[in-house]
Structure formats: C-alpha cells, structure tokens
Amino acid sequence: MPPNGPFVIGGIGNQGQPLRALVQRLRVTKQAASELIDTLVLRGYLSRTTDPDDRRRVNVTLTDRGHEAAVAVLAGVTAVDRELTELLGATGLEQLRAGLVALCDIRDRMESEPLPGTDQTGR
C-alpha cells in the first residue's frame, strides 16, 4: 500500500470522511493526491465511478479489499491507542491528543499569516 494510503482508506471506511477532506488534510499537491487515488484504484482498494446525476463528478468508494484494509487500519490504531493508554494513562493520552491538535492549529495559523516584517507576498 502506498504511503498515506492507510490514512485515506481508514478515513473513508472507519470515519466516513469525504475524500476531498481527507486529501486536504494530507497537505499534498492535487497531482500527488490524484496519483495516490489512482494507485489505490489500480491496487484494488478503491473504486471510481461517474456520478449518475452529474457526469463531471466522480464517486470514489471502498472495494471489498478496501473494506478489509480499513478494518486492519482501525485495528492498528486501536492497538496503538491501547499501548499509549498503558504508557500515559487515559488522561495523559487525552493531553497528548490536545497538544497535537494545538500544534496543528499553530501550524495552520502560521502558514496562513504573513511573516512579521513582510508584505502579503512574503517580501
């Protein structure tokens, strides 16, 4: 499976997240995202069909192999969560997650704001 494949498959299969939202969270170019989806289709994890109501849209769904992979992704995440809970305790795990979310929020804010002493173009 390609890198980031488990993230996409797990997100679709276990959390019901839209593909567009998952790809945006990967923070990769449209070309890289398209190549990832093409690879997952080619390897039998995803199926791509034309939307019957709008031929410009494409629907991407998990295949049987994709559903099996989503189950495996969830099992892996559950195992890691179990180990982290053993090491940190439930409260420690909650704090770790809150800290990681805060780091992501800081990154997003810093990427959307111009650097101090620069104009909007970064000069």
Distance, in Å, from the CA atom of 29 to the CA atom of 22, rounded to the nearest integer, reads 13
- Stretch among 34-38, 43-47, 82-86, 114-118 having the lowest mean pLDDT: 114-118
In a domain, 56, yes or no: yes
What's the CATH code of the domain at 92? 1.10.10.10
Burial class (CB in 10 A: 0-12, 13-18, 19+), 36: buried
In a domain, 120, yes or no: no
Domain that holds residue 41: 5-112
Distance, in Å, from the CA atom of 4 to the CA atom of 100, rounded to the nearest integer, reads 19
What is the number of alpha carbons within 13 Å of residue 75 lying toward its C-beta? Answer: 6
In a domain, 83, yes or no: yes
**pLDDT tens digits, one per residue of 54-112:** 888 888 899 999 999 999 999 999 999 999 999 999 999 999 999 999 998 998 888 88
**pLDDT tens digits, one per residue of 12-40:** 988 878 888 888 888 888 899 889 999 99
In a domain, 52, yes or no: yes
In a domain, 70, yes or no: yes
- With b for 16 or more beta-carbon neighbours within 10 A and e for fewer, the 47-85 pattern comes to eeeeeeeeeeeeebebeeebbebbeebeeeeeeeeeeee
Prediction pTM value: 0.75
Domain count, the chain: 1
